[in-house]
Amino acid sequence: MLRRLCLLFHRYAGLFMAVWLVLIGLTGSIIVFNPELQAWLDPPPAIAERPLPELDPATLTQRAQELVPQAAFNSLVLQRKRGEPFIAFAEPRVGGSIEKPSELGFSALYLDPYTGDEVGRQASQDSS
C-alpha cells in the first residue's frame, strides 16, 4: 500500500515538474532574443543621414549627461546601423548629495549622432 502511494506521488510530482521545467525553458529561451524583440516591439526613431560628421561616443555621452543630469549613462550601443540613433542606457544616479535615487521613467536615451539632440526615450521596463 505504501509502495503504491509513493509510486503515485512520484508519478504526479514528476509530471508536474516536467510541465514546470518545459514552461521555464520556453520562457527562458525567449529572453535570449530580448534585444531583437525590443527593437521589433518598440523600434528606435529613424535618423536621416546628413553630410555632417557623426559625433564621437564620448561627446554624445556627455551630451546625454547634460540633457538628463539625474541619470548615469554607463552602457552604450557602439555598433549601430545607418539611420539608427545613438543609444545610451540610463540608470538613476547614486551618490553625492542625492540621498535616494529618483525614478527616471525611461531606460535608454536616443540621441541624434550628428547633433547630439534628443530624439526619443525608451520606456522603462520596470513594473514597480
pLDDT, tens digit (0-9, with 9 covering 90-100), for 51-73 = 888 899 999 999 999 999 888 89
Topology of 46-123 in CATH? Nuclear Transport Factor 2; Chain: A, (3.10.450)
Strands (E), the chain: 71-77, 86-92, 106-111, 118-123
Per-residue pLDDT tens over the stretch 4-63: 999 999 999 999 999 999 999 999 998 888 878 887 888 888 888 888 888 999 999 999
What lies within 8 Å, CB to CB, of 72 at 6+ separation is: 90, 91, 92, 93, 94
Instruction: Using pLDDT thresholds of 50, 70 and 90, give the confidence band for residue 127.
Output: very low
Cβ atoms of 90 and 73 within 8 Å: the answer is: yes
Instruction: Using pLDDT thresholds of 50, 70 and 90, give the confidence band for residue 128.
Output: very low
Q: Where are the domains of the chain?
A: 2-32, 46-123
Answer yes or no: is pLDDT of 104 > 90.
no
Angle (CA) 102 94 61, round 5°: 90
Residue with cell 550601443: 77
Phi, psi of 114 (to 5 degrees): -95, -35
**Of the listed ranges 74-78, 105-109, 121-125, the one predicted with least confidence:** 121-125
Residue 33, Cβ neighbours under 10 Å: how many? 10
pTM, entire model? 0.66
Cβ atoms of 77 and 86 within 8 Å: the answer is: yes
